[in-house]
Homo-oligomer: A and B are copies of this chain.
Amino acid sequence: MDDSGYEIGFLLRRAHVRASAAFKAALAPLGIDARHFAVLHELVHAPHSQRRLVDLIGSDKSAMVRLVDDLERAGLVSRQVSVQDRRVQVITLTGKGTTTLQAAQESAADVTTVLTEHMPAADRQRLTDLLREFVAGPG
């Protein structure tokens, strides 16, 4: 009985569950979860509108409002009305946000090491590359 035709679906679920539990535990001391981390990560190089963050992360706009609410309340980002388009809220990393992001990046890297330490380095790299290819889709 060969189920390789659809096994990847089950495997992605198990892999995600395994990884997200580990990331959640690692980020908890910083007061954020993986979704907040994803937002902070997108803001490293430049501020973005909430709309742009939604597109980058693949969330939805009402969920993003609450994520940014959380981050703003924690002092990690700030909201500013755009001068060009006053409908737009520009989200910027604060100094504290930058510090927290760096700590989160270290924790996340440590977790990743633990999650993949049973795999040869080449396999780890190849898995990352193939996931990137899978996620890219037909586009």
Chain A contact residues, CB within 8 Å of chain B? 1, 3-20, 23, 34, 38, 41, 44-45, 58, 105, 108-109, 111-113, 115-119, 123-128, 130-138
**A105 CB → nearest B CB, Å:** 7
Tell me how far the C-beta of A52 lies from the nearest C-beta in chain B, rounded to whole angstroms: 17
Given contacts A18-B137, A131-B127, A137-B18, whether A112 and B6 have CB atoms under 8 Å apart is: yes
Residue of B nearest to A108 (CB): B6
* CB–CB A112/B15 < 8 A: no
What's the nearest-Cβ distance from chain B to residue A55, in Å? 13
Copy tally for this chain in the complex stands at 2
A17:B116 contact, CB within 8 angstroms: no
Q: Contact: B16 with A108, CB < 8 Å?
A: no
Q: Given A108-B6, A126-B126, answer yes or no on A19-B15 (Cβ-Cβ < 8 Å).
A: no
In the complex, the answer to whether A118 meets B136 with C-beta atoms within 8 Å is yes
Since A6-B111, A115-B137, A126-B126 are in contact, a sample of 12 more A-B pairs with Cβ atoms closer than 8 Å, ordered by chain A residue number, is: A1-B45, A4-B128, A5-B113, A8-B116, A8-B127, A8-B128, A9-B19, A12-B19, A14-B135, A118-B133, A118-B136, A119-B130
CA distance A16 to B58 in the complex (A): 12
Instruction: Determine the chain B residues whose CB is within 8 A of the CB of A12 once the complex forms.
Output: 12, 15-16, 19-20, 131
When the two chains form their complex, are residues A131 and B11 in contact, meaning their CB atoms are under 8 A apart?
Answer: yes
Complex contact A5–B105 (CB within 8 A): yes
